[in-house]
Amino acid sequence: MTTLIEARGLAKSFDTRAVLSDVAIAVAQGEIVTLIGPNGAGKTVLLRILLGLEAADAGTVERKPGLTIGYMPQKIEIDANLPLSVARFVGLAGSYTKPQIAEMLAETGIAARLEAPIQALSGGEFQRALLARALLRQPQLLVLDEPAQGVDVTGQEALYDLLARVVARHGCGVLLVSHDLHLVMARADRVVCLNGHVCCTGKPAALGNDPAFAALFGARGAASVAVYRHNHDHEHAVCADPAHDHRHG
């Protein structure tokens, strides 16, 4: 697979506090890489460095030439009194036609909300609008910061299922920050555990045997791996075609 972005040896400090130390991460085309870690682990700082919004003190970031990135932020505050339709909000990402915006809203499942006030959307609908906004750039790499924040469990599952379909359709790579281990284990191709440095990385099924993962997430992490393994075995049990390209979610 083509590597879209790769960082090596990243370090970042603020004043005398080291936030990142010798961090390496890469995302390839068609791959969902999920970044997890406790609060204060440096996840947001790492994203900002990868996006070119923050300079690292040390290390390198290599991007595929001409790489286009679609970014879905963790949170956007919108004035409750601002007269802004969903179509206008999504279209603020660039110069796009109404049909292009409507097409992306249809892909993310909220075509009927095209002319609704952005403030009238539910949490799940708003996240889908943000995803549509990122997809309008036709990105090779999607960077999603806590995309399921403020969404109930059912809505989270639906959103991650939608993301898997987006990857299958567009062939883009995804770097996703999440704190929900159960959903991470079910959807990610690869997981990177960050706590100032990369504690462990690998396929979700392998992380349950990594002492660093157990130390970072304890019983909660063990339960997530157990849920992942159950789903993984179940999905393979019903798939008789060995050539099937198995993607979780």
- Over residues 21-64, the pLDDT tens digits come to 999 999 999 999 999 888 889 999 999 999 999 999 999 999 99
Alpha carbon distance, N-terminus to C-terminus of the chain: 20
Identity of the highest mean pLDDT range in 123-127, 147-151, 219-223? 123-127
DSSP assignment string, 79-148: -TT---BHHHHHHTTSS--HHHHHHHHHHTT-GGGTTSBGGGS-HHHHHHHHHHHHHTT--SEEEEESTT
Alpha carbon distance 221, 179 (integer Å)? 11
AA letter at 175: L
Question: What are the residues facing 176 on neighbouring strands?
Answer: 34, 144
Of the candidates 133, 131, 214, 220, the residue with the CA atom closest to the CA atom of residue 176:
131
Question: Has residue 79 got a pLDDT over 90?
Answer: no
CA dist 72 and 152 (Å) reads 18
- Of 224, 197, 171, nearest to 29 by C-alpha is 171
Q: Are 45 and 187 in contact (CB under 8 A)?
A: no
Can you give the pLDDT at residue 220? 53
* Average pLDDT, integer, range 182-210: 81
List beta partners, residue 61.
Answer: 7
| 86 and 130 Cβ atoms separated by less than 8 Å | no
Cα separation, 58 vs 11, in Å, equals: 5
Distance CA(56)–CA(53), nearest Å, equals 10
Complete edge-to-edge strand list for the sheet that includes strand 17-28: 17-28, 3-14, 58-63
pLDDT given for residue 57 in this prediction: 96
